[in-house]
Amino acid sequence: MAKGMKAVIVGSGSAVPDPDRGNPSQAVVIDDEILLFDCGERTTINLIKSGINPNDVGHLFLTHLHWDHMAEFGYLVMSTWNCGRRQTLQVYGPDGTEAMVANSIYGTHKADFDFVRGYIRRLPSHITNKPSNDPNVKALDIEVGFELETDTFKVTAGEVVHHQCVGMPSVAYRVESEYGVVAISGDTSPCQGMIDLAKGADVLIHDTAFLDEIIEERQMWSHSGPSGAARVAKEAGVKKLVLTHLGPYTSHPKAIEMGEMYYGPARGPEIWDEIVAKAEAVYDGPVVLAHDALVIDV
């Protein structure tokens, strides 16, 4: 990609399998540096659709370990290693991340891990662009307040409200560079921690997992609706709000059937305008409805 900073919605969907949307995942690209945030189902393919070679992802920051945010971790690691990735993939995430990474590579994928290693060794010596001898993944458990600063970017992990009370540690992230600031909520209710983390950001990518009325009816207080996401955007004074983690309201009939407990029956396409209108009623800035492989200039 060209010089500058871009926010990429890799997967814009929810936890319900949806032919129209991949599970949650975002990327922030700063010059040649590619930072991936969450790794839900379809991340690898949607990175390619966004113009990003998955082999070039250097850092993966997980907001939490709900399956929809990390289901494709093993696929990303094995497919990029098999396709010749040599650079280290550094993975950061809340408590449990180091164990997840080790279990994935040396547990779930052990047979293939052994296979690829043996396969690499048997490649003829004149092949010089073969993968490294190891998948080169390092993992680190982090907490709220974690900061990673390089010459190119600074990433800060902030506090959110998402099922911590039942044992799901979660964080949000703020990414700063010389070009601007992107804040990524992961899953959260509208909360002060997110407002503080997103202060003055150019782009806020925020959980809009459910309609306002579903959150009320079902007491889904660990997620946000469009009004709540917009309240965070307004109070943080961000320049643009992107609504993501969207349900399968207008998707394939079987996806709607699967998600009916949370999303209700099939809706007409006007539901998307209704979601945006709810946010616009609260927040004066531009509201963008996410879709897969959406690239936003920062």
Cβ nearer to Zn ion, comparing 6 with 223: 223
Annotated active-site residue 68? The verdict is: yes
Q: How far is the CB of 3 from Zn ion (least distance, A)?
A: 32
Contacts of 185 (CB under 8 A, 6+ apart): 63, 160, 172, 194, 198, 204, 205, 206, 207, 224, 229, 232
CB of 279 to Zn ion, least distance (A): 19
Residue closer to Zn ion by CB (options 41, 68) is 68
Task: HSE, CB side, 13 Å, CA atoms: give it for residue 121.
Answer: 7
Cα 59 from chain centre? 12
Q: Helix, strand or coil for residue 253?
A: helix
Decide the pairing of beta strands 287-289 and 137-141: unpaired
Output 155 or 161, the one with its CB closest to Zn ion. Answer: 161
CB of 69 to Zn ion, least distance (A): 6
The DSSP code for 145 is T
* In the complex, least distance from residue 221 CB atom to Zn ion, rounded to whole angstroms: 13
Question: Closest separation between CB of residue 201 and Zn ion, Å?
Answer: 21
Residue 69: what residue type? H
**Contact mark string toward Zn ion, 61..80, x via CB under 5 A:** -----x-x------------
Determine the residue type at 91: V
Q: In terms of residues, how long is the chain?
A: 298
Q: Which is closer to Zn ion, CB of 78 or CB of 242?
A: 242
**Which candidate in 68, 187, 202, 292 is catalytic?**
68
- Tell me the three state secondary structure of residue 280: helix
Q: Which is nearer to Zn ion, 59 or 66 (CB)?
A: 66
Binders of Zn ion among residues 169 to 228 (CB under 5 A) are: 187
- Distances from the Cα of 32 to the Cα of 2, 118, 155, 277, 295, angstroms: 8, 32, 16, 36, 15
- Token pair listed for 106: 């040396």
Please report, as ranges, the residues that interact with Zn ion according to CB under 5 A: 66, 68, 187
Catalytic residues: 68
